[in-house]
Structure 1
Amino acid sequence: MDRGAMMDGREIGAGMQLLPVFALLLASPAVSAAPVEFVVAGLRVVPDRWDKESNFRKLDHYAREAAARGAQVVITPEGFLDGYVGNDRPLDKDKYFAVAEALDGPLMGRVRELARELKIYLAVGFPELRGRQIYNSVAVFGPDGRTVSHYSKTHCGGELWNTEGSAFPVVSTPFGRWGTLICLDRQLPETARILAIKGAQMILIPSYGMHGEINDVLMRARAYENSVYVVFVHPKRCLVVDPKGSVISQDRGDTDQVVYGHIRLDERVGRGPIRARRPEIYGEILEKR
């Protein structure tokens, strides 16, 4: 088909004529969907060990501060509600089970109501009691108070009484598609890659243990190699990294604080080196060492 005929409305085929308006549309540049923009807030806050009431008060205070400053998504560190006691040595099993709470438990209900009141997405780390087992989990509640996402740590390392999760959910929200990892999970590159393959545009990483220079490098690498935003939230460190691996926001000083990051989900997300993948030759990655 002659392109010139398409552009000036001359006959094409058996008597069919291209309408001038259609020709104009073809000649016009494609209109891209407007990018999704929002503000995330990481609570770089040290919780009190074993004191859920104190930690809820901290959550309430800093979440309100973040919402008042325009944050639509607020994220705590790993195990924030209990003070991350699940990695203690020794660890009293009965005491740990007593501090754990079901997703629909009373304190989690107050967290849910806080998200509803502030009209925000609120991601909170807690020891989740599920039947007779405890999971190191993060729940995300939406502005309507409903559970948007629920993830359990898949690589617990030496956490004595925590059961490992086995799923990597990616959820769709008005602010794009998100996945979650917790602490040690981020050190295994397969975890973030799975989320990216499943369509995540942003990965939330509540953490507690290791942080520092090597972690900053890891977080930048995870963002770049998967072409996603990474939001790392730790009691002593918070980073927001864009899909190019650049740190766009981070904590300052050594006091409790809220770290804000402006997220812009546009055509760059998902268009990095991940597009060059050749899954058909990666079979060996599934083998055990």
Structure 2
Amino acid sequence: MPPLPIALLQSSGRPGDVAHNLRLLDEAAGRAASAGARLLVTPELFLTGYAVGSALPRLAETADGPSAGRVAATAAHHGVAVALGYPERDGRALYNAVSLTGPDGTRLAGYRKTHLYGEFETAAFTPGDRAVVQAELDGTRLGLLVCYDVEFPETVRAHALAGTELLLVPTALMRPYEIVPRTLLPARAWENQLHIAYANRTGPEGEFDFAGLSCLAAPDGTVPARAGRGEELLFAEADPETLRRSRAANPYLRDRRPELYGPLAARG
């Protein structure tokens, strides 16, 4: 199976302006498709912006809302799958979510962030209750997490045990936590033997200053692609041959002994 070409959009868009951000998404999808990418990953809450304050409930949409239709049209027009971070409304609850739309415009999966970060997120959102959400694209098993989720070893290990090969992580990582993309992500990819595509916001936004440094971390511990701190469309490939060789050489999943530490991992 050939490598899966992907594009990571590092951008904060225009907070509070959904129409503008949808235009940016369409432009990025066109550039990604022209470069041969089959998948475009956006940052956390890209649709609306992260620091939108009291406007968040008004900007949030249902999973099948009007923006979902625009995203489906963009994906189908350019023939590229789209992982979009957005605030999802479900009844009275709001979720920090990511939707995955296929290159034909069909909805493949949706995930709600399970580990909320800081006072803003815990006040604004309800945590999701599904640890592992997956979909298939061009023979590759994709998994979905959002930002802080990937910083918990249990979440990534759950994906590894479920067979995820490429983990998509829309992100809003602030400074000064650059240790996450620089150190933690390569370690997560190595210890769990999968690829991790991490698409971050960038620059100042309200009280936050986003770190950029979007990347693809590979199962052999390398980082084949890394963005800087500014706006960027980053291209990379998730290579199944790298994954196969690395899993054969580094059999962490096979050599686990969960009977020794399984109960300990569940303690509060």
TM-score with structure 1 setting the length: 0.82
2:3 is aligned with what amino acid? E
Return the alpha-carbon distance in structure 2 between the equivalents of residues 156 and 149 of structure 1.
Answer: 20
Residue segments in structure 2 that go unaligned for 5+ positions in a row: 202-211
2:62 is aligned with what amino acid? A
Aligned to 1:281: 260
3-state SS of 1:55 partner: helix
Q: CA deviation at 1:275?
A: 2.0
Aligned to 1:255: 230
Q: CA deviation at 1:215?
A: 3.1
Q: CA deviation at 1:270?
A: 4.2
TM-score with structure 2 setting the length: 0.88
Return the alpha-carbon distance in structure 2 between the equivalents of residues 233 and 108 of structure 1.
Answer: 20
Return the alpha-carbon distance in structure 2 between the equivalents of residues 109 and 64 of structure 1.
Answer: 17
Return the alpha-carbon distance in structure 2 between the equivalents of residues 174 and 65 of structure 1.
Answer: 20
Return the alpha-carbon distance in structure 1 between the equivalents of residues 32 and 186 of structure 2.
Answer: 24
The answer as to whether partners of 2:181 and 2:215 remain within 8 angstroms in 1 is no
Provide the aligned length of Structure 1 versus Structure 2.
247
Aligned to 2:14: 48
Aligned to 1:29: none
Aligned to 1:97: 57
The answer as to whether partners of 2:166 and 2:238 remain within 8 angstroms in 1 is no
Return the alpha-carbon distance in structure 2 between the equivalents of residues 119 and 201 of structure 1.
Answer: 22
Larger Rg: 1
Return the alpha-carbon distance in structure 1 between the equivalents of residues 257 and 133 of structure 2.
Answer: 23
The answer as to whether partners of 1:226 and 1:270 remain within 8 angstroms in 2 is no
Q: CA deviation at 1:200?
A: 0.3
Percent identical? 32
3-state SS of 2:214 partner: strand
Kindly indicate whether residue 170 of structure 2 is the aligned counterpart of residue 206 of structure 1.
yes
CA displacement, residues 87-114 of structure 1 (integer Å, 9 cap, x when unaligned): x6xx42xx32110011111112101111
Q: CA deviation at 1:38?
A: 1.8
3-state SS of 1:36 partner: coil
Return the alpha-carbon distance in structure 1 between the equivalents of residues 173 and 222 of structure 2.
Answer: 23
Return the alpha-carbon distance in structure 2 between the equivalents of residues 270 and 125 of structure 1.
Answer: 30
Q: CA deviation at 1:169?
A: 1.2
CA displacement, residues 169-218 of structure 1 (integer Å, 9 cap, x when unaligned): 12223241111111111111100000110010111111002352343211
Q: Are the structure 2 counterparts of residues 52 and 169 from structure 1 closer, same or farther at C-alpha, using a change threshold of 3 Å?
A: same
